[in-house]
Structure 1
């Protein structure tokens, strides 16, 4: 199974840091955000990666190359302009295809200690979402996780989408614009009973602002201190 890291966004909320540096190359704990993902994916057996690029994409490719120095193979999905999450994934589908249609997707702007080797292998549906507790900046959550493991768009126990998911190519078979976000597709699929999920109770950071990047940097440095 292949894994895709979403790395094409402009990172507008991270400015001025992202005016000259693509968000995945920002550092926390002395390491770039995307290197954390690559290391965890490789250690979990995901050696074939697809990474999309648009904003400052030449810097991203110059930094990572073909991935061999990191023990992986990187296939780049070039976008003429950022296509948002769903648009970027659909654009990369020819590079992600395999016989069963499933692939892993990881947002490039999150940090998480989720063990990728333990990602569930769904037998039905079009998505399996990794959900986590609601942070202060998203107190109402995104999805409801039922006791059965199914995910609904509404419910009493709302959790936050971690940005980590196992997706099936059929999720992208419907009609939508070139620039489209993933969340509306997932909600429609959830309403149709086609989305499953599980909860991650470990560490998770959404790196959406410079302040949250600083928070992650402090946490990582403290965790590594004797």
Structure 2
């Protein structure tokens, strides 16, 4: 990450993080906790984004909340502990990405030319935000988007650009993409442009705001950098993102010492238990003799009995795994119980407080 002192523009910029989604793809974990507040590499996922903004030199952040909005303010307060000033705006009805951005505009404090960084609250990115800000200023863009190349862009909307990065179109999902570039979910708006978004109704930036700017002849700029990028909206991606942060594949100011695993100081891990591949063992957890924890995230107070194996899985607070049970690509809700000698795999999910009794069964979708 570039040194903020080398580019005063970063200190002038403000930021908005969109954290209002219900996180339906991560249920049952998000039934009680907003997706951005789920523990990821030892802290709420949102903390990684906030510290990255602070490291870049940005000082003021507005959180655009909706689902369980009170959780954010209860945890972060005024943002002072992170070196930030944080404001909160609650969206009372769905407004889409553009409408959500416009809904927080009156909490921004800069002038009409102030750069406003917009982040989606479920994306991990290692791209150079300072360089994106610099390009935004140098070309005097209305909006500058971070673009990444993907192997198969057909599942995304494509964003073709000219040689100098100027965006020429926003294309919906097509069977024959004209470019591998997609919108990576980090935008920099000039403040006066942000305020042209209509108020009081849902607005899509991809379908309305950005195409409208192009039609009006405004400069919409693409900043392409094929750095680490991951949407953590699914259990598999959430586990991968957490493991990558723990191992240092993606650096975060919130992870002081990357390594094979992150184990809370008060967790109890048997000497012959195996914990690795970027796993996180949360506060109050107990990992018994012979257990294997690989590439998984265990929230607080999880108990894994002797001989059990947990791979590429997420275990909610207070979950219990019985002796010799095996979990692969599974999700356990808070306070759920998997009895002895069970096997959960291939995306199996156990709801909060649910109980799977002792048995030797194989449970996977379609089985």
Same fold (TM over 0.5): yes
TM-fit CA distance, 1:199? 0.7
Corresponding position: 1:187 with 2:211: yes
Deviations 1:167-210 (A, max 9, x none): 12325525465222222212332354431111122101111212
| Cα contact 2:147–2:181 (8 A) shared by 1 | yes
TM-fit CA distance, 1:136? 5.8
Counterpart for residue 113 of structure 1: 126
Counterpart for residue 103 of structure 2: 91
| Cα contact 2:97–2:204 (8 A) shared by 1 | yes
The verdict on how the C-alpha distance between 1:46 and 1:138 changes in structure 2, with shifts beyond 3 A counting, is farther
CA distance in 1, matches of 2:179, 2:86: 38
TM-fit CA distance, 1:222? 3.3
The verdict on how the C-alpha distance between 1:161 and 1:217 changes in structure 2, with shifts beyond 3 A counting, is same
CA distance in 1, matches of 2:162, 2:30: 38
Deviations 1:12-55 (A, max 9, x none): 22222211111111232222221111111101110111111110
| Cα contact 1:40–1:115 (8 A) shared by 2 | no
Counterpart for residue 89 of structure 2: 77
Count of residues paired in the alignment: 226
SS at match of 1:189: helix
Corresponding position: 1:198 with 2:210: no
Corresponding position: 1:14 with 2:37: no
Residue 144 (structure 2) aligned to one of 97, 116, 128: 128
Quick one: higher RCO (CA 8 Å, sep 6+), 1 or 2? 1
Larger Rg: 2
CA distance in 1, matches of 2:215, 2:150: 21
Residue 41 (structure 1) aligned to one of 40, 53, 58: 53
SS at match of 1:50: strand
TM superposition score normalised by structure 2? 0.57
Counterpart for residue 52 of structure 1: 64
- Structure 1: state its 5+ residue gaps: none
Structure with the higher helix share, 1 or 2: 1
| Cα contact 1:145–1:158 (8 A) shared by 2 | no
TM-fit CA distance, 1:72? 0.5
SS at match of 2:160: strand
Q: Which runs of 4 or more aligned residues in structure 1 lie more than 6 Å from their structure 2 counterparts after TM superposition?
A: none
| Cα contact 1:205–1:216 (8 A) shared by 2 | yes
Counterpart for residue 162 of structure 1: 184
CA distance in 1, matches of 2:157, 2:95: 24
